[in-house]
A = this chain, B = another copy of it.
Amino acid sequence: MKSAYEALKKVVNRSGFGPECHVLIKKLVKASAEELSRCKRLHLVSKVAGKSYFAFERSKRRSRPVNAELFDARSTKALEMFQGILEGNRREFASVEITRSIYTVAMTCCAGRDVASDGDQKTPGTIFEWLCAAAVQAALNVTPKRSLSVLNLDLKGELPTDFVFDLGVEKPKFHLPVKTSTRERIIQVWAHQRVLDGVYGVGRFLAMPIILTETKLDAKKLEVVEICLPWQWRLYQMHIANLWNVCYLDAPAAYLELDAKFPRIGVATIGDVLKKGGRLDALLKLHSLL
């Protein structure tokens, strides 16, 4: 798995998330699935209403919690569908299929790394970033940037950013922080959006964080909880900046509820964003890009 990761890293650093990296993503997912095939499944006590979780386990190592409903054990099917998404065919799949496919592929890589290392947090986070960037690049047909230039009066420099997908002159620019989980760190996303609003003008950038899950495992009790701060989110949306859509793979109900409240924070599954006629298509249509 490590060699598949290093090969993918090299290609991503050289040429981003185009077709050349798709082949290596496939290899990495397969190597990760191979790691997991040698694990047994450990049932976890879910304290999250309506969801059940398990962990992969091998010798003394245990993976992060895996959502049993979203994780498609027939991982070749999920992988095939993900390859379809990467080839630009997202509109062929139903919302729930898209979410399950990306969740399965991402969780295969993250859990695979969990059981193959001692507490490496960075690699799973990086792989998840790449997978999401590749999927969004396929959906928007532009390559992302990781910094923006700032130039006004005597102020001049580069602002490092999360992924930025720029659809062109007078067209939307998307700002995509990608995180395996956020908790109280989510405030950074609002703050970055505020800086973009301030430097480039309000409404110029549309923030769409993509987040894997908000689960937390109590290692002793084997209990899974979701850490959610919906009340803080509303204050951030009112007082810091406006996020366009917060996009989840394993979406917490407490956040999905915000999608229907006032003041509204758009929260959706990645399937609802990427499906045919979904949130992304609605926006593209609004800007005559569809």
- Please report A residues at the B interface, Cβ cutoff 8 Å: 150, 155, 157, 159-160, 184-185, 187-188, 190-192, 194-195, 197-199, 231-232, 234-236, 238-240
Contacts and interface: CB of A to CB of B under 8 A. Distances in A.
A190 B240 CA distance: 10
A122 to B, nearest CB: 14
Given A194-B240, A198-B235, 7 more contacts: A187-B188, A188-B191, A190-B191, A191-B236, A191-B240, A198-B238, A198-B240
Nearest to A160: B232
Contacts of A184: 188
B239 A198 contact: yes
Contacts of A231: 157
B157 A240 contact: no
Report how many copies the assembly holds.
2
A159 B194 contact: no
A199 B150 contact: no
Given A157-B231, A232-B159, A239 B187 contact: no
A195 B236 contact: yes
A158 B28 CA distance: 45
A222 B157 CA distance: 31
A187 B198 contact: no
Most chain B C-beta atoms within 10 Å of own C-beta, residue among A157, A238, A239: A239
Contacts of A160: 232
A187 B162 CA distance: 14
A198 B188 CA distance: 17
A142 to B, nearest CB: 25
Nearest to A191: B191
Contacts of A239: 194-195, 197-199
5 contacts: A157-B231, A195-B236, A195-B239, A198-B239, A240-B240
A195 B240 contact: yes
Q: Which 5 A-B pairs have the closest CB atoms?
A: A198-B239, A191-B191, A187-B191, A195-B239, A194-B240
Contacts of A199: 235, 239
Contact of A150 (B157, B185, B187, B235): B235
A101 to B, nearest CB: 32
Nearest to A190: B191
A240 B190 CA distance: 10
A185 B188 CA distance: 8
Contacts of A197: 239
A3 to B, nearest CB: 22
A187 to B, nearest CB: 5
A275 to B, nearest CB: 32
Contacts of A155: 234
Contacts of A191: 187-188, 190-191, 194, 236, 240
